[in-house]
Amino acid sequence: MRVLYSFPNKIGAARICSIAWQQVRGLAEAGAEVIVYPGFVSRKLPATVTVQATLGVWKFRLPYRLLGRMGAARLHDRIVARRLEELVGSVDLVHCWPLGSLQTLETADRLRIPTLLERPNAHTRFCYEVVAEECRRIGVTSRHYDYVPDRKVLEREEAEFDRASRLLCPSEFTAQSFIDRGFPIEKLVRHAYGFDEAVFYPLPQRRRGRFTALFVGVDAVRKGLHLALEAWLASPASLDGAFLVAGEVGTEFKKRFAKEISNSSVSLLGHRNDVPELMRNADVLLMPSIEEGFGLVCVEAIGSGCVPLVSRACTDLCQHGHNSMVHEVRDVRTLQEQITMLYEDPALLDRLNKTCVAERLEYTWKNAGKKLLAAYESALSPSTVLSGQSDM
């Protein structure tokens, strides 16, 4: 399998940039021949991968701030599209990321090269709507890392959705958000993300002591920190347990939820670089998101032996009563009951913890690379139509 992997950002940096890096490494380990066109490289890729940065080489790079988010993405897209013209017959498919792919997708369609567009989150229009609705409900505004509606971004991403041969969806929640918008099921290809088992691993023996819940992430409305606080404080676990919040919490959130975060059981830790250690020493992860593309911290928690208590918006690798507890989106009462259940029933908590530890290696980035390669092969099946706009 010969893959052109186009990523308009800093591959190997944080968040989605780390996901892209892990995908490329996983593909290479699975046996794919990968040519990567990133904006530039923040972390060295395997020697078997061909890397050609579009916006910078080593320490020399075009300033993203000067170009702007959209400007950098468009320039990257233009460069990759031009280089794709020279690779006809040398690649089997093109794997693209949002905002920096429209011209590449159009060129590939003209050259009859199949394309797959990564969807690290649900449909953008859905994300805008659900976050705006929740902001109105709780009386806060959306912050820069949440979904602030942007017409230009939406128009470009929707054009990319239409032009791509297939959309790569890492969860059923993501796939369903496109089905609800009228996309045919056959245009959607499932895969998954993973975790680094060398970084996220459990303690040799589970810690005993004060019941500890952990939230990892910023106070973005879509992550549901406000819901986690409500459920935690309604549970008797808050009387002698601890709820740790690892991530940035803004001034508006602190003011709106001042009473909740002032509770003696709640600790705001701010940005942390020791999240794996925090997970190893916590009993449960609270992640009541109202929107997720996958819920990466959930598999990282599983890998660390920390039992996830998650909404259905999070990864479908969380199986209720098996390795996690799952509740419906915004169902604070059920989340509170689940916290209480695990607080009062150490045997149940032990069983879920042991399942996480026993099955953790099923969810690594190495296995995710194999799943992604299988997704490519599924998309290239002779029985599958792969021209861009003809799918819609």
Residue 61 has a pLDDT of 66
Instruction: Print burial letters for 160-169: b (CB count within 10 Å at least 16), e (below 16).
Output: bbebbbbbbb
Give the pLDDT band (50/70/90) at residue 147: confident
- Give the CA-trace dihedral at 214, 217, 218, 222, to 10 degrees: -100
**Cα separation, 50 vs 37, whole angstroms:** 9
What is the reported pTM? 0.92
Instruction: Determine the average pLDDT of the residues in 59-73.
Output: 75
Instruction: Determine the average pLDDT of the residues in 310-338.
Output: 95
- Residues near 110 by Cβ (< 8 Å), separated by ≥ 6? none
**What are the tens digits of pLDDT across the range 91-109?**
999 999 999 999 999 999 9
Instruction: Print burial letters for 251-287: b (CB count within 10 Å at least 16), e (below 16).
Output: eebeebbeebbeeebbebbeeeeebbebbbbbbbbbb
Least confident range from 25-39, 45-59, 232-246, 279-293: namely 45-59
Per-residue pLDDT at 10 exceeds 60: yes
Residue 316 has a pLDDT of 84
**Regarding predicted confidence, which is higher, 207 or 340?**
340
Q: What is the mean pLDDT of the chain?
A: 93
Strands 50-51, 307-311: pairing kind: unpaired
Per-residue pLDDT at 383 exceeds 60: no
Per-residue pLDDT at 57 exceeds 90: no
Beta bridge partners of residue 188, listed in sequence order: 167
Q: Which domains does the chain have, with CATH numbers?
A: 2-194+366-385 (3.40.50.2000), 212-363 (3.40.50.2000)
- Name the residue among 299, 282, 302 with its Cα closest to residue 352: 302
Instruction: Determine the average pLDDT of the residues in 359-369.
Output: 96
**Cα separation, 102 vs 77, whole angstroms:** 7
**Cα separation, 256 vs 260, whole angstroms:** 9
